[in-house]
Amino acid sequence: MSSFAVATASLAIDSVVSEKWQQVLDLIASLVRVPAALIMRVEPPHIKVFLSSHSAGNPYEVHEEAPLNTGLYCETVMAQRKQLLVPNALSDPNWNQNPDIKLGMISYLGLPLVWPDTHVFGTICVLDRKENAYCELHMRLLEQFRGIVERDLSQIFQRAQRAHDDQQLRAEEAERVRAEFAVLRAGEQRALQQLQQLNNHLEERVAERTAELQKAIGQIVAAEKMATVGRLVSGIAHELNTPLGNIMLGANSLSDRLAAIGQQADERRLTQGGLQQFLDDSRRACEVIERNGSRAGELIASFKQVAVDQDRQERRSFQLDQAVANLVRALGPTLRRGALQLEVDIPGGLQLDSYPGHVEQILAKLVDNSITHAFNGRAGRRARISATRHGADVELVYEDNGCGIDPAIQPRVFDPFFTTRIGEGAQGLGLAVVQNAVQAMLKGSVTLQSKPGEGVRFTFVLPLNPPAK
């Protein structure tokens, strides 16, 4: 694309390539049976050991440098750009003063390494402590490995060229965008006038849409409130069946025993033992009636308080643990049908001046969501409600051990009408109602934490005494 000249001296060799080259050197040293196989890189005014084989007796260390123009074997290879073979430098007057002799390296075989732009990278070479004429196979082997290294150099060089071309393209694109922007600005005044006309109607349209949205949210909240009350009525009716049945059983038993003892008295067959048995049976029947009557009274009181809170949604002072306990009792049949074990860990003394109906509605909706969506047939279903005080706030936490929520959809779970069960009767309103109640009525916040397979954790931060609406 361009005549850009790559500065090969500054190009870095990445670790992956270096590791491959190191394996090449170690293989060369092993196959040729020499103590040293090197890749040298020229960095004027020095030449340095870029890589050195991990072979026994190798005196060359990586990053070791030597000055140029000192008669090194590699200097001649780079200058002549061809193979150099020195079987024995000690017997060769051209090489008997070579600096490598001081390290005991008297034989040398090396080839130049060249960048695609013909600049010299350095050399690939082998050195031996003894005379070595290196056979034809060794020479071809070194040439093959030289080809591997130079192909890598070519790829590095081309990447640098492409990076420059990409940068140039981006600069040209930026210039084109600037030119187009200048054209757009020429019509800016007309666009501003049109925008002003739109803005004249914007506030009115926003107000209309806001009113419609508030009305829709109000309808949703009312519908959810009625649905919650309906579920509680159904649940409490089912829950009352047991104590009321026991009361009827005890009353019938007592009635039968009264009739029997009366008949015995009329016929003058009543004995002291029979009277004592009647008294014992009557006492037990009365205990059954009293115990189940108390249970029914507790259930009705719990339901009454929850129902009043849901119906009126009035602000009042309440103990958080008691409100949650009332809700859990009312949800008993729902929990059993859903096989959900619900643990509550809320200390006494957490008093709020707020809206207990909304707190109960939030928790009831989360329990319903867990039973409906969280487990997909899994056993061992558990959920937990806990609370702790932090200054003027209470942190209320609901969590379950269900299948969790995909991180990709977590930012949307509080959106109205968002559901992953389209066509299965889900409306996608549950968590939208939860968020609306938390923010609009309780003046708090809600956050969601979830990982697939690890359940969900909803954390509510609610003021103990929220500001008036």
Please list, residue by residue across 67-98, b when 16 or more beta carbons sit within 10 angstroms of its beta carbon and e when fewer do: ebeeebbbbbbbeeeeebebbbbeeeeebeeb
Tracing tokens 């409100």 back to the chain, one arrives at 323
Amino acid (one-letter) located at 405: I
pLDDT at 267: 81
**How large a percentage of the chain has pLDDT more than 90?**
49
Q: DSSP states of 313-325 as a string?
A: ---EEEEHHHHHH
For residue 82, the 8-state DSSP code is S
Stretch (H or E) spanning 22 = helix 15-32
Cα 117-118-120 angle, rounded to 5 deg: 120
pLDDT at 116: 94
Torsion of CA 342, 346, 352, 355, to 10 degrees: 0
The residue written with tokens 């968002």 in the block is: 418
Cβ neighbours for 155, distance < 8 A, ≥ 6 positions apart:
none
**Cα 324 from Cα 336, distance rounded (Å):** 17
Question: What local confidence, expressed as pLDDT, does residue 469 receive?
Answer: 65
pLDDT in the model for residue 224 = 59
pLDDT band at 240 (very low <50, low <70, confident <90, very high): low
Domain residue limits, the chain: 8-162, 221-463
pLDDT band (50, 70, 90) for residue 201: confident
Residue with more model confidence, 295 or 362? 362
**Contact between 296 and 247 (Cβ < 8 Å):** yes
pLDDT at position 429: 66
Distance CA 328, CA 415 (A): 27
Q: What would the mean pLDDT of 8-26 be, rounded to a whole number? A: 94
The C-alpha atoms of residue 408 and residue 390 are separated, in whole angstroms, by 31
For residue 80, the model assigns a pLDDT of 95
Q: How far apart are CA 414 and CA 429, in angstroms?
A: 8
Name the more confident of 308 and 262.
Answer: 262
Q: How far apart are CA 299 and CA 329, in angstroms?
A: 7
pLDDT value at residue 48: 96
Pick the closest to residue 388 from 431, 331, 426, 350 (CA basis). Answer: 350
**pTM exceeding the 0.75 threshold for the entire prediction:** no
Evaluate if residue 76 carries a pLDDT over 80: yes
CB atoms within 10 A of CB 14: 10
> Which of 123-132, 185-194, 443-452 has the lowest average pLDDT?
185-194
Report which listed range, 79-88, 171-180, 267-276, is most confident: 79-88
Give residue-wise pLDDT tens across range 349-365.
999 999 998 899 899 99
Per-residue confidence (pLDDT) for residue 423, from 0 to 100:
54
**Residue 72's closest CA among 54, 91, 89, 53?**
89
Task: Return the pLDDT at 204.
Answer: 81
- Which residue in this structure is represented by tokens 């949205």? 213
d(CA 92, CA 378): 85
Residue 249 has pLDDT above 70, yes or no: yes
221-463: CATH topology is Heat Shock Protein 90 (3.30.565)
Q: What is the mean pLDDT of residues 50-75?
A: 94
Residue of 403, 343, 346 lying closest to 373 (CA atoms): 403
Summarize the confidence of residues 364-376 as an average pLDDT. Answer: 88
Give the DSSP letter string of 285-297.
HHHHHHHHHHHHH
What is the Cα 35 distance to its own chain's centre? 52
Among residues 439, 421, 344, the alpha carbon closest in space to that of 384 is found at 344
| CATH node for 8-162 | 3.30.450.40
pLDDT at 15: 94
Q: Is 411 helix (H, G, I), strand (E, B) or coil?
A: helix
> Distance between CA 419 and CA 429 in Å, rounded?
8
> Cα-flanking dihedrals φ and ψ of residue 232, to 5°?
-65, -40
User: Tokens 């969280």 belong to which residue?
Assistant: 374
Least confident of 289-298, 339-348, 430-439: 289-298
Helix (H, G, I), strand (E, B), or coil: what is residue 49? strand
123-131 average pLDDT score: 97
The answer to whether residues 78 and 42 touch, using CB atoms and an 8 Å cutoff, is: yes
- Percentage with pLDDT > 70 across the chain: 87
pLDDT in tens, 392-450: 999 999 999 999 998 988 888 888 777 776 655 555 667 888 888 898 889 999 999 99
Q: What is the DSSP string of 84-145?
A: EEES-GGG-TTTTT-GGGGGT--EEEEEEEE-TTS-EEEEEEEEESS-----HHHHHHHHHH
* Position 77 pLDDT exceeds 70: yes
Instruction: List CB contacts of 54: < 8 A, sequence separation 6 or more.
Output: 22, 26
The two tokens of residue 257 are 């025993």
pLDDT given for residue 126 in this prediction = 97
Whether 307 shows a pLDDT value over 70: the answer reads no
Q: State how far the Cα of 332 lies from the Cα of 346, in Å rounded to an integer.
A: 18
Decide whether 8-162 matches 221-463 in CATH topology: no
